[in-house]
Each structure stands twice: as structure tokens, then as C-alpha cells.
Structure 1
Amino acid sequence: MASALLALFLLSFVVGRYGVPLGQVVRILLSGVLPLEQTWTDNMAIAVLNVRLPRILLACLVGCGLSAAGTGYQTVFQNPMAAPDILGASSGACFGAALAILTGQSAVMITVFAFLASLLSVALVYLVGNHTRGNRVVNLLLAGIMVGSLFSACTSYTKLVADPTNQLPQITYWLMGSLSGTRMGTVKFAAVCMAVGLVPLLLLRWRMNLLTLSPDEARAMGVHTDRLRLAVILSSTVLTAAAVSVSGMIGWVGLVIPHLSRRIVGSDCRRLMPMACLFGAAFLLLVDNMARCLTATEIPIGILTAFVGAPFFIYLMVRGGDRS
């Protein structure tokens, strides 16, 4: 999968309305570290380094982050329908971005508003879930539905009062999800935030297998399940918040990719988590290439992931039902 991702990474520079040969792409990328003679035009360098490189990197980061977050949530909640937006992180990010657009903030502040609102929504979910009697996991799921619905209503009200000429189209387009216009500053912000969430998941992935045991059995093996569950939820939330804040709503990646990865390498998180990261990055990069090239007008990537992800998930459900 790593080899497939690398090949797709290089081929993505060739795809586009302005053609750049693969050999020139490699030379342009290597020219930053090696003293190569220039055999490419300035327009080729601009297309590769300023336009396509940031977008390709961000597609890989967002796909990796959403897939890792989905894997973490499905493991914690032991629920195959768990997705990165299960605790309201995506709904919170949407409201934060809509509020930033409504108040006339810059593109950087839109990302910051979305990121902070996403963290706030999950903090509310965790606060409500911990102060409710009963099963803690079920309480978190119910609180996530409630808080997510609340933030979705706030987003709808923001769209209602937005200027229908400028602000409303911008909010609507952001909610569809897109990677167009990506700059390296956005990539650096996403990379730092996602590293904060992804590194703990990779380090704890062997312990995550113990979440399928009872608390007493896990504690006998030296693992405190409540602390582990909190660490996984926080890490997955940071990943989701960072991904949604820079790309908008991109659904199905965090739901479908963990299922596909599980069919390839099994349910052992030691293999499942790295596989989901690589598979998610490759999948979103492939879909983004389709979004750029299928039509004359770029299709929002959130629409394409739904078109691809929903039928494929139905296929997985049908195949699973046949096996049972």
C-alpha cells in the first residue's frame, strides 16, 4: 500500500489540464535538494510546486487523518458505524467555518474557527457524557448525536441570516468539501495538528486491541481502559478537527476505509492503523484527482466521496450478509 501511495503521489502531478511530463516532475521535486540543471519551464515549476504539491500533500494528510480517526472511533465504541463525525466534531467545524464566513474573517481565520469549534463540540460531548448515569460509551454516543444536531441547527441558522449574494454561496461551497486553492501554510497547519493526534494512535495501537476485553481483564494486563479510551478519543478528535477545518465536510472516508483495511489485514490494530492511514491517503488522493479532471468545472470532493463511498459500503454490507 505504501508503494501504491507513492506511485499515485507521483502520477497526481501529471494529472491536470496543464500537462507536465513525469520525468520533469521528478526533476522539479528533486531540484530543491539536488543541484540539477533546469530542463523545465518556469510554468512547469509553478504548476508542480505552487499549485499541485500543496494540494496533493493536503489530500494525503486529510485522507490519512480521517481514516485513522475512523479506525480509532470504531475500536473505542466497538461499533462498525462509528465515523469521525460521531461525536459532533464535523458539525462543530462546519458551524465554526460558517460563523467565520458570516463575520467576514480571512481564509486563515476560517480554518482556525473551524478547528476550535470542532474541539469545543467534542468537549461538550465528553462533559455531557461523563455527567450522565449509565453506560459511558452509550452516553458519549447519545451526547454526540445531541451536540452534533445542535451545531447543525446553528449552521442552518447562520446560512439563513447570511448574505445570499456572497456569504451564503461561500458557506455552501465550504460545506461541500474541497481542496482547491490549497497553500503550503494550510498544509503545515494540518500537518502539525494531525501529528499531535496521529502519533499517540500509532504508539497506542497495540493497547487498543485490549478495548475488546472487559475492564477487569484489561486491568489485569496493566491497561486502564478508561484512560486509554480517553486518549484514543482525544487523538481521533484532533485528527478530525484538523482535517475538517482545512478541507470542509468530506464524508465516508473515515467510515469505509477502516472496513476495507480490516478486510485486508484483519482487526489487529497493530496492522490495521498503519494500513488505514496509507489506504485513506491513497483513496482521497485518487478521488481528488477525479474531482480535478472529470469535468470542466471542479466537483467538490465531498460529493465524490459520497458517490464512491456509499455504494461501496452497501456492497460491503451485502457481502457481509451473504457470508453470515
Structure 2
Amino acid sequence: MPDTASGVDPRPGRRLRARRADQGWSLSRLERETHYSRGYLSRVENGRQRMTEDLAQACDRALGADGELLAAVRSGLGQECPYPGKAPYSEETAQWFFGRDEAVGELLAEVRRQLLTGRGLYAVIAPSRAGKTSLLRAGLVPALRDLDGTPTVRVINPGPEPELPDERSDVLVVDQFEEVFTQCHCPKRRDAFVEGLCRRACSATFVVVGLRVDYLRQCLENPYLSPLLQEHTYLLPPMTDAQVRSVITGPADSVGLTVDPDLPDLILRDLRGRNGAVSLPLLAECLHRMWHNKRGQRLGLAEYNASGGVGSTENLTAVLVAMAFVLAQMERNHRSATTDSTSTSATL
């Protein structure tokens, strides 16, 4: 059964470790024979990363396992949903993160250059719903952990009480940096966090921040952040149609599902119907519902229609927002009426 902590079936990884031990092979030798990194192989063996069919075949060939590992992988196919829905992709679901190879490659190259100096700050800037969290947590961070020398990496969210970790790391990733403005309502705490972060970036830690573009002005007005942001920024581009198609088909392929050939174009047409922009959360939510509506090992028009399409989540969200507004207005009216009544009674 899949490991409840990571959502990954650990059995193929355990079988790989046992096969490797029987052969007396080190991870370094398996790396040379299969051309997969030691970090990746180690995560597979420890149940932190799912073993793909390609990896299973490579290991079967290298270890002379006669298809044993591939059979172990295929025995669990289709049991786990490869679309996270509302949740962003993470290190645990990185094997299903598709469509951002180019961006990950550019970020990784920049971080590798800066790691030579051991310090600096790099800002990944994009609009809301563009997939910054997934890019950092499921794209950049796993790629960093696979680098030779394995730099130490920490990931934090500022939250309402932003605080730097005591333990130093080679790379510190600050996801959703705009939370220092949206959630932290104490100016002193906010300023202390930002100043400490910038000092760390100027000493022995390379800092990567993910920032919503509509909070760039506040950052540029900060005397500590401004010079660092003007040095190194990466503007995350919108996904191309080909990249969106890979978001749809890649995870399905990895778990042995077949996607009807016309389905990606239909979803793309509906996604771009209103203003030409792709909302990745809407797409992820729709794909999650489709997987749960599937019959057999196929995703097609029937599953898409049963899920309500990419517009249903947006419509539901709009309804919920409207309901919340109405309820809040009713509450304000009630409070106002109660206050007026109390004042009248006191006057009388």
C-alpha cells in the first residue's frame, strides 16, 4: 500500500534496494549504470519519490532483474491520483509536476552560478495563480537536492509571524513572500524579518523568494530589498499550449492512464475562453475531479463532462465569494442595528 506520509508506494523502492544489495552495488555504481542521480535513486529507495516505468526498466537492465522492478511498478498503477487538485505540487508529488522544465532549468542554472559565491537573492515574480509555489517546491527544490555536493535547502512560508530558521542552509527558499504584507500585521516584526533575510542573503546563504507581481512595489520601496531585487529577478512567463498539454498528459502517462487525443485541446479552448489566460488552479481542480470520475484507465470527454469542465470550479468560487459577501454584509447590518438599538435605549 502507498505510504501514508508521502503518498508514494514504497514497495518498488524497497525491492530496488534489495536487488542492489544482492549485487553488492553502491548507489554511485547504479547512478553510472542507469544515468539517474544518486539523490533521485536514494529518494526512490526510501519511499520519498515514486519509481517511474522508465527508471524501473533502466534498473532492471542494469541489475539483471528480468522485469521484476517494472512489474512491481505496474502492479500499483492507477491507484494514486497524480493530480493534486487545489493543493500545489510539492516535493512529495514532484514526479507529477510537468510543463515547467524550461523555467526550472533557468532557475537551477542561476542558483548554481550564485552558489559559487555562496550568497545573493533571487526573486521569482509572477501573477497570482501562475504556479510559483509548485515551481519552487516541486521543480527547483528537488533539482537542487539532486545537485552534486547536495547543497542544504530549507523552504519556509513567512505567514503571520515571519521568522528565519535558526539553522543556516546553503539555499533558503521563501515561498509566497507576499505574506509578509498580507498576513503579518506587525510592522516591527515584518521589518526585522526582511532585514534579517537580506543580511543572510549578503553573507553565506543564497535566498530565493517567490513573489506575487502585485506586491513588487512594496518590495522595491524597502531599502534592504530594493537593491537585491534589482540585481536578480526572474519573471515567470505564462505557460504555452504545449506546456499546458504536458500538465494534462504527463501525470496520466506516469500512472498508466490513456488521455483521449482531443481532450487537451478541448480543455485548452475552455481555459482560454474568457481572457486568453490559463488558470492553473482551475485546471488542476478539474483534472483532479476527472481522475475521480474515471472508469478504467482512460480520461476522455465523458470524464471531462462529468467533472463539470474547467469553468465549474470558477463558477462555484464566484458563488461562494458572493455568499460570503452577503453574509458579511448581513452581519454588519445586524451589528449596526444592535448598536443603534442600544444607543436609543440608553437615550431613553
Q: TM-score range by the shorter chain?
A: under 0.3
Instruction: Identify which of structures 1 and 2 has the higher relative contact order when contacts are C-alpha pairs closer than 8 Å and 6+ apart.
Output: 1
**Which is helix-richer, 1 or 2?**
1
Q: Which of these two proteins has the greater Rg computed from alpha carbons?
A: 2
Give me the TM-score of the superposition, normalised by structure 2: 0.26
